[in-house]
């Protein structure tokens, strides 16, 4: 699996992703500077977390205009895999690859925590190493992670099974007390209609190396790897 990890000025989780895909999973991984636009050798594009271009104006609003994002849109249109984590999720919504928007957290604070999530669907590359309705724990760290979409978009996301991860409590229930940022429908991660583009606010790359205190994120990368191996 050839992995491309996008690097914007201000990205700060790019090396964490490289550590997982190259360091732990031994997959060839290339960092892609935001001015590059040749992704022809890449199977999976990962847009990592951080503060792209300082996240001025709005998180991801400037990054979407970069040459690498124009190339990433083409990559996605070919049905290839694209993963956006945290700031990457924000960039993917700004770029129009995913519906809705990430707005300021409900309490207007940056939230840094480890939270339970329910895996809603397991028939896609991203989640097929998890059990349906499995409750996993992943770190979150964001100031603008509250998922918002208009009522029609929200309805179609739910009807089409595009919500892959939902904030919940330890028992898997999504109630008032288990929504760290005020996301509508407790949404933590969604895919596009085709399922090849995933955006999520939690950080699977920070929960893949056992020395960091949790490995619930690793199966997402392993699922990706399994899907690419099946195609190649």
Residues noted as catalytic: 86, 203, 205
Give me the DSSP letters along 14-40: HHHHHIIIIIIT---EEEEETT----T
- List the one residue out of 102, 68, 57, 62 whose CA is nearest residue 199: 102
Which one of residues 51, 111, 169, 226 is an interface residue with ligand GLN (CB under 6 A)? 51
**Tokens 């090396």 found at:** 15
Q: What span, in angstroms and rounded, lies between the C-alpha atoms of 113 and 219?
A: 20
Which one of residues 44, 59, 83, 220 is an interface residue with ligand GLN (CB under 6 A)? 59
Q: Which is nearer to ligand GLN, 66 or 87 (CB)?
A: 87
Q: Which is nearer to ligand GLN, 44 or 59 (CB)?
A: 59
Q: Does 205 bind ligand GLN (CB under 6 A)?
A: no
Q: Which is nearer to ligand GLN, 20 or 141 (CB)?
A: 141
Q: Per-residue contact track with ligand GLN, 134 to 173, x per CB under 6 A? A: -------xxxxx----------------------------
Q: Which is nearer to ligand GLN, 59 or 187 (CB)?
A: 59
Q: What span, in angstroms and rounded, lies between the C-alpha atoms of 64 and 90?
A: 9
The CB-of-41 to ligand GLN minimum distance in angstroms stands at 26
Binding site for ligand GLN (CB under 6 A): 49-51, 55, 59, 86-87, 141-145
């Amino acid at each position: 699996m050839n992995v491309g990890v996008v690097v914007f000025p201000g990205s700060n989780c790019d090396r964490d992703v490289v550590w997982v895909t190259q360091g732990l999973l031994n997959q060839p991984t290339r960092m892609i500077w935001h001015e590059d636009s040749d992704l022809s050798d890449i199977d999976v594009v990962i847009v990592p977390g951080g503060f792209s271009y300082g996240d001025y104006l709005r998180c991801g609003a400037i990054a979407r205009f970069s040459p690498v994002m124009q190339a990433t849109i083409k990559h996605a249109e070919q049905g290839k895999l694209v993963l956006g984590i945290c700031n990457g999720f924000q960039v993917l919504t700004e770029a129009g690859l995913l519906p809705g928007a990430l707005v300021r957290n409900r309490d207007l604070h940056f939230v840094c925590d480890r939270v339970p999530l329910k895996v809603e669907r397991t028939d896609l590359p991203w989640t097929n190493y998890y059990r349906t309705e499995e409750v996993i724990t992943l770190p979150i760290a964001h100031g603008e992670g509250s998922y918002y979409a208009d009522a029609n978009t929200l309805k179609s996301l739910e009807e089409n099974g595009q919500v892959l991860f939902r904030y919940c409590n330890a028992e898997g229930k999504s109630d008032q007390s288990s929504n760290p940022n005020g996301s509508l429908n407790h949404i933590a991660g969604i895919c596009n209609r085709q399922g090849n583009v995933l955006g999520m606010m939690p950080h699977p790359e920070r929960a893949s190396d056992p020395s960091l205190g949790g490995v619930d994120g690793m199966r997402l990368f392993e699922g990706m790897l399994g899907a690419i191996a099946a195609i190649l």
